[in-house]
Amino acid sequence: MSILSLFKKILPFIKPYKWLLIATLCLTLIGSVMAQVNAYILRYTVDELTVITQNPDPMQQGARLLLIISIILIAKELIYAAIQFGQKFYGEKLRIFISRDFAQLVVDKILSYRMAFYTASNNESGKLQTRIDMGISSLTRLVRNFFIDILPLFANALLALIAMFNANVWVGLVSLSIIPIYFYVSNLQAKRLSGFRRSLRNYRETKSNAIISIINSITVIKSFTREPLEADKHEKIQFDMTENQMKTRHTSFMFDSIKSMLEQVGVVVVIILTAFFVLNGTMSIGAIMFHIMLFGNVTSPIRQLHRIYDEINDALIYSESFFEIMEADDEKETSGSYIPSELKGNIELKNVDFTYPNGTKALHNVSMTIPANTITALVGLSGAGKSTVVNLLDKFYQPQSGKILLDNVDLMEYDTNWLRNNIGLVLQRNHIFHGSIKENILYGKPNATDDEVFLAAKKAHIHDQVMELPKGYDSEANLLSGGQQQRISIARMFLKNPPIIFLDEPTASLDAIATQEIKNSLDAIKKDRTVIIISHSISQIIDAENVVVMDKGRVMEQGTHEQLYAQNGKYHEIFSAMASSLNLDKISDTLNDQQ
Ligand code: ADP
């Protein structure tokens, strides 16, 4: 990305604050004019003092001169301080406002993106977070630098240069000639550093990912006592990063020395040149002071040029991936506009092929019918593609070929929000948000009354346990056990009350008692709805009126439990394995003994 295109992208964010910007710019200009005052006053002072020292009583005249000069300088400094304060404050205000807008817009954007965006490997949560954070901070730093540092400095430099040309063309030319040399050296420095900066960004992303991964896997790490292994992995990243940082510093410091030497050479040339004009009588002695001070004003922004280059480079690098996130319009979720007056709930998959964004082909020519108001069980080993079917039905992903029909209308034509509002999804481990139990249940219907929340919790068999907690429904939901959290998420679905329900191993993480309780409540909610259940529980599979057997992304069989069992095929094999894993003989012996 070029600087120009970066500014074009930032411009719309600055536009709403144009008056703030104009105020900052005006103050900048006034500040720059005032910054030249010292040089003029010093020249005047030196020249006056030179004359006064020739007089018989130099002390008295000199004291009066110094008094007037001091008053002028102090008054100027007071005004200058106020202007600088205003300029910095408004510049900072601009930065803070723009930073807030960037941060909000990026969240709005990513929320509108489809599921594939989140599962893409370069958007893993840690990486995405770093890209967003670094993007915002480097862009806002750029805005601040431009308006608070760069602009005043360059305005100063320009005015000082004009003043120098005004005083003497040759002195002006010397100052002017140093600028391209400085630009060349700074540009060289920036180019040398850009490779390092890119890899530093990668290291930072990997590092923050590595720490998140340690936190997420801490139980496994500890139980296998693999702390040294994890520490070694981290150490390698650290060492590579250190080497990179050292090279960056080495290059930076080397160029800094070259630039500082160039500046001093410039000062010497200005002194020699002005001294020559003083000696040949064309200038007064005060001009030496005057030119050195003005030359300082010309070189001060140039002294910072590498930092400015650095930060522009930073902004270019980080904003590249930041704007990739902001402008990933092809990642936007698509939605049709169809909203039916009535939803029956007949679902049909016709020759569906689906490959995940990472290239895993999960469904091959899948066809199945899921009749309305029935319970359909998806049966198959892990990885067979059962959850993928549910993902497609929720429009989280789109099939590459084939069709999915709901009440004979292509799913793609449906309004996505409407569709999801009519589908309830309960997963094996449901997400519980930070917040109270009540807030978590209300997620299913934000405007529900307390009574509705309590009723939903009762149906999910969690109400009594919540009431026993010291803070009741205001207790922190994250502190509940896994089984309790699962029932909170089922209560959430009861509150939503959708006509279509997908249950993806809803009781897999629960104990036997909780499973039994939830089974009862799920049985209640299953009535008169279209339900798809993915389960490894025999009782839940037997309950289904329709069974679809999947294997390696393909549909193998479809029918009722009795039909499929009689076929002696894949279903027979899976069912028999499930039954024998229960050790039915021993269970029945135990139960018989008790009778
Ligand atoms: P099941 O629910 O039957 O256990 P899934 O539908 O979860 O099976 O998975 C089917 C295949 O798709 C598996 O090979 C799995 O690794 C792959 N898969 C599942 N989710 C993703 C994903 N988000 N990205 C890439 N591959 C995936």
CATH number of residue 485's parent domain: 3.40.50.300
Q: Is residue 578 part of a domain?
A: yes
Taking the CA atoms of residue 339, residue 343, residue 344 and residue 346 in that order, the dihedral angle to the nearest 10 degrees is 50
Strand partners, 379: 549
d(CA 38, CA 64) in angstroms, rounded, equals: 18
Residue 318 sits in the same domain as residue 373: no
Tell me how many helices (H) and strands (E) the chain has: 23, 10
- Residue 370 covered by a domain: yes
Q: State residue 449 phi and psi, 5-degree precision.
A: -85, 165
Among all chains, which residue has been given the structure tokens 């008790």? 594
Note whether residue 338 is domain-resident.
no
Q: Does residue 364 sit in the same domain as residue 292?
A: no
Domain end call among 299, 331, 363? 331
- For the chain, how many residues are written? 595
Contacts of 250 (CB under 8 A, 6+ apart): none
Element (H, E) at 43: helix 37-54
pLDDT value of position 306: 66
Tell how strand 409-410 and strand 530-534 pair up. Answer: unpaired
Give the pLDDT of residue 556: 95
Residues 325 and 377 grouped into a single domain: no
In the chain, helix, strand, coil percent, each to 5?
A: 70, 10, 20
Same domain, 256 and 131: yes
> Residue 560 phi/psi, 5° resolution?
-90, 165
CA distances from 534 to 50, 367, 376, 494 (A): 98, 17, 9, 19
User: Which residue's CA lies nearest to atom 23 of ligand 1?
Assistant: 119
Return the pLDDT at 430: 65
Same domain, 324 and 430: no
Cα separation, 515 vs 538, whole angstroms: 13
Phi, psi of 210 (to 5 degrees): -65, -40
Which class for 415: exposed (0-12), middle (13-18), buried (19 or more C-beta within 10 A)? middle
Tokens of 443: 């997620």
Q: Say if CB 328 and CB 112 are below 8 A apart.
A: no
- Binding site membership of 152 for ligand 1 (Cβ less than 6 Å): no
Nearest CA to ligand 1 atom 12: 362
- Residue 592: burial class (beta carbons within 10 Å; 0-12, 13-18, 19+): exposed
Same domain, yes or no: 316 and 384? no
Phi-psi region of 381 (alpha: psi -120 to 50; beta: other; left: phi over 0): beta
Q: Give me the pLDDT at residue 375, please.
A: 92
Q: Is the CB of 126 under 6 A from ligand 1?
A: no
Q: State the DSSP string of 215-275.
A: HHTHHHHHHTT-HHHHHHHHHHHHHHHHHHHHHHHHHHHHHHHHHHHHHHHHHHHHHHHHH
The single-letter code of the amino acid at 259 is: K
The 3-state DSSP class for residue 559 equals strand
Q: Hey, whose CA ends up nearest to atom 14 of ligand 1? A: 383
Displacement of CA 157 from its chain's centroid (Å): 38
Q: Which amino acid is at 305?
A: L
If asked whether residues 327 and 371 sit together in one domain, one would say no
Q: How far is the CA of 363 from the centre of ligand 1 (A)?
A: 9
**Residue at 84 is within a domain:** yes
Last residue within a domain, chosen from 272, 302, 331: 331
Q: Nearest C-alpha to atom 1 of ligand 1 is from which residue?
A: 383
Of 280, 299, 331, the residue that ends a domain is 331
Domain harbouring 120, CATH code: 1.20.1560.10
Number of domains in the chain: 2
Q: Is the CB of 312 under 6 A from ligand 1?
A: no
Which of 119, 353, 356, 394 has most ligand 1 atoms within 8 Å of its beta carbon, as the pocket-test mutant?
356
Cα 10 to averaged position of ligand 1 atoms, centre (Å): 40
Answer yes or no: is 409 within a domain.
Answer: yes
pTM: 0.74
Q: Kindly state whether residue 443 falls inside one of the protein's structural domains.
A: yes
Question: Would the CB of 508 count as within 6 Å of ligand 1?
Answer: no
Nearest atom (ligand 1) to Cα of 504? 2
354: β partners: 363
Q: Is the shortest distance between the CB of 389 and ligand 1 below 6 Å?
A: no
The three-class DSSP label of residue 503 is: strand
Structure tokens at 441: 């249940």
For residue 508, the CA-to-ligand 1 centroid distance in Å is 17
The answer to whether residues 402 and 524 belong to one domain is: yes
Distance CA 314, CA 135 (A): 9
Measure the CA–CA gap between 595 and 576, rounded to whole angstroms: 27
- Residue for token pair 């431009």: 146
**Axis-axis angle for helices 151-167, 286-303 (nearest 10):** 150
Q: Does residue 284 share a domain with residue 202?
A: yes
Q: CA 8 → CA 135, 148, 493, 573, distances in Å?
A: 16, 19, 46, 64
Kindly state whether residue 425 falls inside one of the protein's structural domains: yes
320/425 same-domain check: no
pLDDT in 10s for each residue of the chain, 595 residues: 788 888 888 889 999 999 988 888 888 889 888 888 888 998 999 999 888 888 888 888 888 888 999 999 999 999 999 998 998 898 889 889 999 999 999 999 999 999 888 888 777 767 788 889 888 988 888 887 777 777 777 888 888 899 889 988 988 998 888 888 888 888 888 778 777 776 777 777 777 778 888 888 888 889 888 899 989 988 888 888 888 889 888 988 898 899 888 888 988 999 999 999 999 988 888 888 889 889 988 887 776 776 777 778 778 888 888 898 899 888 888 889 999 999 999 999 999 999 998 889 999 999 999 999 999 999 998 899 999 999 999 999 999 999 999 999 999 999 999 999 999 988 877 678 889 999 999 988 899 999 999 999 998 888 999 999 999 999 998 888 878 888 888 889 889 989 999 998 887 767 777 777 777 777 777 778 899 999 888 888 888 899 999 999 999 999 999 999 999 999 999 888 888 877 777 878 888 876 6
C-alpha 491/C-alpha 124 separation (Å) is 30
Amino acid, res. 56: P
Same domain membership, residue 421 and residue 318? no
311 and 423 in a single domain? The answer is no
**Cα 476 to averaged position of ligand 1 atoms, centre (Å):** 32
Tokens of residue 588, six digits: 């029945």
Which structural domain, as residue segments, surrounds residue 370?
347-594
Alpha helix ranges (H) inside 280-368: 286-303, 305-326
Q: Where are the alpha helices (DSSP H) in 112-124?
A: 115-119
Best CA proximity match to 159, nearest among 263, 64, 40: 40
Residue 356 beta carbon below 6 angstroms from any ligand 1 atom: yes
**H-state helical runs in 527-569:** 538-543, 561-567
Any domain includes 342: no
Question: Within 13 A of 201's CA, how many CA atoms are on the CB side?
Answer: 25
